[in-house]
Structure formats: structure tokens, C-alpha cells
Amino acid sequence: MKRTCFINILLFTFFVILGSGELSAQQFKASVDKTTVGQNERFQVYFEFSGSDINSLSNFRNPSFNGFKVLSGPNQSTNMQIINGQVSASLTYTYVVAATEIGEFTIGSASIESKGTEYKTDPIKIKVVQGTTQPQQQSTDESVSFEEIAKNLFIRAEADKNTAYKGEQVTVTYKLFSALNISSPQITKLPQYKGFWAEELESVNNLQWQIEMYNGRRYRVALLKRVALFPTQSGELSVTPFELTIPVIVQRKRQSRDIFDEFFNDSFFGRRQSVDFPAESNTLKINVRELPEDGKPESFNGAVGDLDFSAKLDKTEGSTNEPITITVSLSGKGNIKLLDVPKLNLPPGFEQYEPKTTENITRKNIVSGIKTAEYLIVPRVPGTKQIPSIEFSYFNPATKKYITKRSSPYTLNIRRGESDIQSSVSGFSKEDIKLLSEDVRFIKTSDFNLQKIDKTRLVKSWFWISLVIPFIAFIGFIGLKKRQDKISGNIQLLKYQKAEKIARSRLKSAKKALEAGDIAKFHAEISVAIYGYLEDKLNLEKAEFTTEKALRELKNRNVNDELIHKVRSTLDKCEFIRFAPQMSNKTESGELHESTVKLIVELENSILLRKI
């Protein structure tokens, strides 16, 4: 028995020593290709785990990159070696980052778990010195072929259907296919949707890569954007390409004939460079058919989709001059924003006010939601009133049929209100009633001491002034009213004059989002503010708006080149943040807000109004 226990103790000790030796072989360390970098200079950070088993690794946690912009990563790579029967392997997470500010910064610790044990790397100190003001761009090496890059890096635009009815949703998806090592792309030109009403669908703020097969090849694929298009005209419509500038990390070959250069030209020792590759998607062609005339109801007003309709009355009995509310709701799948709410057909004796409309739209795979209109009607005449049924018609592309839905007619019992009774006996006061028998008075016949009055004293100067001032005020009011009517009738002029006010409101919302720490919402509000301002100020349609078109229009309005450059820079920053939201911090966002406010003020003083 003692011998058995002794053997068990020896075996336990052996396995403990063996296990501790295995644990000691596990390492997780961090390294960089340089510890002193220039401002805005790119460099790489590596987190490498080495050991005999890398399949058990899990829960890798990113380090803190305060003071740096993450341009790419984490990119994974593995390596395995067998030496004298011993297996060793490593898993490396690589980041491409750039320093944004001058000073000394620390890259925090990364952590990973293996078989229940957590490993952490040591922090790395980086010294950032004065460098170039723009990220380093190296010229294209002669060995780098754009044709070869284009085979391994491209954008695909895909539509869920190539033929659709007018008003039917067509979903367009833009995907980035890559078999190369790339950094964060920058938008060069957004697609134009001429002939469509466009609704941006929900998507992620940063690129998320997945593996997909395309033409028999394996690619990493990331979703760039998704948009729902609703054709507003028939015929063959085109969607222009989506253009990006993508930094590609390529191997740089030495041109020297030195034997040492030839040795170090091996891929293991090769140097890398970034090449800006212009990528653009394919042009989409959509054939749009007119809605059929056969079976089109008279109440049809252009609604297309899979829709529902309801109407309700808040009460069926009331008094004259007492408001009644009729609520009409449209819901389902389709272009909710452009749906026209059915009109009411009221009998005589009612006064109707403009409806209050609300929308709740969901923009996921299919645009859907609900649109509600509240009609306020006021009966003026008592009696039993009949409101005809409300009718709504739409075209369903799935069934290719028109569908009409009706509410039931409403019967209202309107009684005379108290205000009507009071008004019928009003007009006489108690004093009037007392004097009914004394409404004729006799002229007094006693003598009076009459004196002649000076004619010049009959009319005072203030009397003439009181006559002239209202006349002048009336003329001024007429002139102001005509000007307001002209502006209200000219939508383009109205947008032009209100552009700055709307932009300032958006910038206030952006500042609130920044104070709340919502960086993504902040940049969204900044982007909407400046894009909306340029659309209204330059009279550009939203569906046809592009950065280049806006800049050309600013040039035509005699805006100086320096200010146009500021506009381009601000637009690029706003668009770039969609693909790399982690590259922005609160300080930079605050500076962007201040510069955007100043930019809009400068534009307001520089843009000249064309004749409208």
C-alpha cells in the first residue's frame, strides 16, 4: 500500500513538472517596427502568442491606442514549426496605426486566454516627433501593377432585382472584395441615384470582414453600404459607380544589384509600402416598368408596396364648434415617406384644418413603417351628419394587382352648442334694455352763451399724424407680405435663405452628441449639417449630390480656392469616419465642430445668390 502511494506521488509530481514546463513555454509579447515615429507616420504593432497549442486561444482583447489612429487591424497570421519532433506554433495580431499628436504615448496591454489562463503583454512606449503633416505616401514601385491589384481588390454593386415597377423597392448592396493587405479606404465619389428616391439602410459603422467565394476564388468581403432605391420614372435607369481610394500594403523590391540586397530581397526580409489604389464598383442598370393601367382605381395616388390602411373617429356625438378628430393610418412595406394620406370628403357644415402627420420608419432589409395623419374637423351646423367612407388604393408588386381598402361610413349626431344660444341673444346690455322707452330725448331749449371758435384750433396736428402713420404702416405691411409670398412661392429661394439656420441647428445637435460622448452620432450630425447646407445653398438635388459637383458649383459662385479646399477637407473627414470611427477622439471632434461652424460662416459670406 505504501509503495502504491509513493508511485502515485511520483507520477503526480512528474505531471505537475511537465505541465509547468508546458506553461512556461507559452509566451505572449508585444513589439513594434519602430519606437520613434513622426507625426502622422504609419507603423505596425505586433502581438504574438507562441507555444505548442494555439488552437485553444480565445478572448483576445484589443489594447488601448490612446493618441493613435488605428488604420487597419487586427490582422491575424499563424506560423508552425517542427524541430526534432517538437512542435511550436505562433499566432500574431498585427495593427497598422498612425501617431496623431507629438509627445510620448503608451500602447496598452493586450490580453488573451489559453486553457483558462490569461496572458497579457507589456505596455510599449512610443515617442512621436515632428514629422509630415499628412500620412506618408510612397510612390508606386515599378514592380507594382494596378492590373494585378485589380484582380485581388475590387468593389461589387449588387441589386436584388434588375427589373422593377415604378415605386417598387430595389435594394443595392456595395461589397469590398479583397485578397490583399489593405488599410482603411477613403471615399472618392459617392454613387448617384438619378431617377430614384434613395433611403440609406442600416449598416455597421466599421468594416467587418467575412469569407466568401466569388468566381471560384476565396476573398475577404466587407459590406460598405446598403441603400433602398424607389424608381420615380420608368425606362432603363443607371446607378453610377461607388469610388474609393484604398491604401494597399505591398512588398517593395530593391533595385540595387548588391548581393546583400538580393539576399534581403527575400519575402521574409522584404520591406513594405503603401500604394493608393483607385477602386470603383460596376455600373448597375435597372429596367423600370410603368404601373399597369388595367384595373387602376380612381382613388389610386401612386402608393406601391404591401400596405395596410385604417381610420377611426374619436367620437360620434358632439356639439357645434366642438372639435372632432379623425385618425388615418398607413402601414406596411414601401416608401412610407412618399405616401399620400387619403383626403376626407366632408358634407357641408364642417370646417376642416390641415392634418398633423407623423412617421415612424424602419430602414432594415426592407423599408417599412407607419404614417399617421390626424384630421381636425369642427361642425358648425347641428343635425345628423353622414361622413362617407375613406378610400385608399395601392399597387402590390408581388401580386401585380391594385388593392383598394375602405373604412366604414361614419354617422355624427351634432347638437347645438351653448355658444350658439348665447350668441343669438347677445347684442343687448342691461343698460340698453332700461332705455328702450327713453330712446328719444327732447332738445334742450334754454339759452346758451355761444362763442365763435377759431377754425385753426378745430383740427390738431396729432390728428393728421394719426391719419398718416397707419397709412404708411399699411403700405409697409403690403410690401412685406408680397416679399414673404414671393419667398414662400419660390422653394429654391426659401431653402437658400434658411440654409444657414438649419445648419446651425444641426451643429447644436452635434455638439450635444459630442458632450454625451456619442462620437458616431456627432460625425453623422456634422455630415448632415454641411451636406444639407450645400444642397440648399447651391440648389442641388439630394439624389444628384456629389462632392465634386458641389465644389464646382462653389467655384462658379466665385468662392476662393482656399475656402473650397477647406470644404473638401471637412467632407473627407466626415465620410472617412464612417469606415474608421475609432480613429477619432473627443479633442479632434471638438476641433472639427469649431472648424465646421467657421466654415459655414465663411461660406455664408462668400456664396453669391444666382437669379432664381
| Domains of the chain with bracketed CATH | 25-129 (2.60.40.740), 146-288 (2.60.40), 304-418 (2.60.40.740), 489-606 (1.20.120)
CB burial readout 530-553, b (16+ within 10 A) else e: bbbbbbbbbebeeeebebeebbeb
CA angle 113, 119, 125 (to 5 degrees): 130
pLDDT for residue 139 is more than 50: no
> Contact, 333 vs 368, CB < 8 A?
yes
CA angle 535–539–540, rounded 5-degree value: 55
| 3-class DSSP state of 483 | helix
Which three-class secondary structure state does DSSP give residue 72? strand
Beta strands in 407-562 (DSSP E): 410-415
pLDDT at 578: 56
- What is the DSSP pairing of strand 401-406 with strand 391-396? antiparallel
Kind plus residue range of the DSSP H or E element containing 434: helix 430-434
403 close to 299: Cβ distance less than 8 angstroms: no
Q: 171: helix, coil or strand?
A: strand
Higher pLDDT, 568 or 579: 568
For 250, list phi and psi in degrees, rounded to 5.
-120, 160
- Please tell me the distance from the alpha carbon of residue 169 to that of residue 336, in angstroms, as a whole number: 11
Query: In the 3-class helix/strand/coil scheme, how is 310-361 assigned residue by residue?
Result: EEEECCCEEECCCCEEEEEEEEEEECHHHCCCCCCCCCCCEEECCCEEEEEE
Provide the grid cell at 83: 524541430
Q: How many CA atoms lie within 13 A of 497 on its CB side?
A: 11
Report pTM: 0.47
And the C-alpha cell for 404? Answer: 383598394
Give the pLDDT confidence score for residue 326 in this predicted structure: 92
- pLDDT band of residue 136 (cuts 50, 70, 90) is very low
Contact 281, 174 (CB under 8 A): yes
Does residue 13 surpass a pLDDT of 60? no
Half-sphere exposure of 392 (CA within 13 A, CB side): 23
Per cent of the chain over pLDDT 90 is 20
Q: What is the pLDDT of residue 23?
A: 40
**CA nearest 220: which of 280, 279, 178, 174?**
178
Position 184 pLDDT exceeds 70? yes
C-alpha cell at 227: 441603400
**pLDDT digits 0-9 by tens, 477-491:** 777 777 665 555 445
Quote the CA–CA distance of 370 and 334 in Å, as a whole number. Answer: 10
The pLDDT of residue 228:
93
408-415 mean pLDDT: 90
Q: Looking at residues 266-289, what average pLDDT do you find?
A: 80
> Which one has a higher pLDDT value, 94 or 198?
198
* Listed range (132-146, 338-352, 369-383, 396-410) with the worst mean pLDDT: 132-146
Looking at this protein, which amino acid is placed at residue 266? D
Cα gap 580→529, rounded to integer Å: 20
DSSP-derived pairing of the beta strands 103-107 and 124-129? antiparallel
Please list the helix, strand and coil fractions of the chain in percent, rounded to the nearest 5, in that order: 30, 40, 30
Name the residue with higher pLDDT: 329 or 255: 329
pLDDT (0 to 100) of residue 305: 93
Measured distance CA(26)–CA(183) in Å, rounded:
31
Across the range 525-547, mean pLDDT stands at 76
For the segment 412-424, the average pLDDT, to the nearest whole number, is 68
Q: What is the mean pLDDT of the chain?
A: 77
